[in-house]
Amino acid sequence: MNITKEELASVLGHFNPWWRGESVVDLPTWRRAAYEELSLWIQNPPVPRAILLSGARQVGKTTLLLQVITELLKQGTDPANILYATLDHPILKLAGIKKVLETWREREPKKDGLEYLFIDEAQFIPEWGTWVKHQVDFERQRRIIFTGSAMPLIGDAQESGVGRWHTIKLTTLSFYEYIQLKKIKLNPLPDVNSLKELFNWGESDFYRTAEQAVPYVGHFHDYLIRGGFPQTALVETVNQAQKLLREDIIDKALKRDMTALFGVRRVLDLEQLFLYLCMHDGGLLDMAALCSNLQIKRGTAQNFLELLEATHLIYRLPPYGYGKEILRARYKVYLADAAIAPAVLLKGKSIIEDPLALSVATEAAVFKHLFSRYYSQNIKFTYWRGKKDHEVDLVAEIDNQMVPFEIKYKSDTPTGRDIKGLMELCQEKNIQRGYVVTKSIVNFGQIPNASGTKAKIMHLPAALLCYWMGKSEILQHKQSDEE
């Protein structure tokens, strides 16, 4: 199908209102934490690279690009030197990136200064890795910023672009961002940029913060069932939020992206596998049981899991260790957002009354917050299993140190039996400190005389952990914390 330059120019004009002297309408003034890192790399890049903003559908990538464009215009960048194009649009996709750029320059001749190309859903560019590499190597007066909700960053595309782009991973909203987006008024909490700061607190600090944090718990539960996608956070009811999450985000990623980008034909098998993961969120993945249950081959299941990672719908967490044992070991699988499983399984608000489901959702949220806060520091996340199947849910590895997190999200205060795995790991690896992530605000504080280990162990309410990790994320490109 032939797309004329006139048709293409009309579509581009719609996406670039600043060419007509108009501003972007309905653009929120509130910004995601990732805005600071993105703005730094666009305006003062540490090295000459393109920028990949990766993340699932509807997490706010396009809004983030438009906010940066608005700021560039305020700073005096000529509107003609800024192009925004989404390759998800059928006209632009059919025309191709080369014709898009030609039409842009025919309509808006280049002015003095740098050019800025903002390309949304760049995975629809054939051999996009090679295209980005070419732009970075030969178009020195251009800054390339591109997004992808389904970027297959393994294989040929990644290999051809090594060292050509910096990746910023945009996860779903943090609990802190959720509160800010919904404009919820709560008592302010003290700032905590690194969890290790808590070990310097006194008893009065814990008591005072616990009292201030009580109202946060209810909103945290609401966050777990509504989800961290901006659209779902703002709708009126939980049922509407979960319907939107299920139909507008998950279904499109599974049915549209998987077929258009990866050529998946067995969509029903893929949907059944994703449903299986929703029913086992945060659990060890038994591939033999999965394949037997769904009646699919192991190779097919493995391929589906890799595709779900490429579309940012799941995380896979390996066990702690090295060598052949790890290659044969089972992975943990977390969904990209705690609200996905309740939405797909039509749970509504019922998970609040289901201790097991609530604990599973909390563990997924805790991992997402820790990953989002620290992924840029190359921290490795694993889980640990010891003697008698004792387990630690999450272990962060940095600078040859291990920082463990055990999630015990229940009404009662965790007992020694609940944290046997944590104690065993701390003793075996001579760990300095660890965290038991809890539900109750009142038990917030350091556990006195944790038996059998020299480690300092902290009871840390999940709502506080997620709030602080979300708030401090905005500083992650300026600092390099130990944990």
pLDDT digits (tens, 9 = 90+) for 215-239: 999 999 999 999 999 989 988 899 9
User: Model's pTM, two decimal places?
Assistant: 0.90
The pLDDT, as a whole number, for residue 155 is 43
The pLDDT, as a whole number, for residue 48 is 87
The pLDDT, as a whole number, for residue 87 is 92
Residue 478: pLDDT band (50, 70, 90) is: very low
- CB within 8 A of 137, min separation 6: which ones? 164
Report whether pLDDT(156) > 50.
Answer: no
Residue 124: pLDDT band (50, 70, 90) is: confident
More confidently predicted of 74 and 385: 74
The pLDDT, as a whole number, for residue 451 is 56
Residue 53, CB half-sphere, CA atoms under 13 Å: how many?
31
The pLDDT, as a whole number, for residue 483 is 43
70: number of Cβ within 10 Å:
15
Report whether pLDDT(83) > 70.
Answer: yes
* CATH number corresponding to 5-170: 3.40.50.300
The pLDDT, as a whole number, for residue 472 is 84
Answer for the pair 65, 27: CB distance below 8 angstroms, yes or no.
no
Rounded mean pLDDT of 23-48? 89
Residue 149: pLDDT band (50, 70, 90) is: confident
More confidently predicted of 93 and 262: 93
Rounded mean pLDDT of 184-202? 92
377: number of Cβ within 10 Å:
16
Report whether pLDDT(481) > 50.
Answer: no
Beta bridge partners of 124: none
The three-class DSSP label of residue 329 is: coil
List the one residue out of 34, 361, 369 whose CA is nearest residue 222: 361
Lowest mean pLDDT, pick from 116-120, 128-132, 171-175: 128-132
Mean residue pLDDT across the chain = 88
Report whether pLDDT(177) > 90.
Answer: yes
pLDDT digits over 278-337, tens only?
998 888 899 999 999 999 999 999 999 998 988 889 999 999 876 555 556 789 999 999
Report domain extents, the chain. Answer: 5-170, 176-475
List the one residue out of 228, 328, 341, 358 whose CA is nearest residue 277: 341
**Please, what sign has the CA dihedral across residues 324, 364, 173, 469?**
negative
Answer for the pair 248, 58: CB distance below 8 angstroms, yes or no.
yes
Residue 97: pLDDT band (50, 70, 90) is: very high
Which H or E element spans position 482? none
**Please, what sign has the CA dihedral across residues 29, 30, 34, 40?**
positive
* Parallel, antiparallel or unpaired: strands 332-335 and 314-317: antiparallel
Report whether pLDDT(42) > 80.
Answer: yes
Torsion angle defined by CA atoms of residues 42, 47, 53 and 55, in that order, rounded to the nearest 10 degrees: -150
Lowest mean pLDDT, pick from 91-100, 396-405, 461-470: 396-405
Report whether pLDDT(361) > 60.
Answer: yes
The pLDDT, as a whole number, for residue 450 is 59
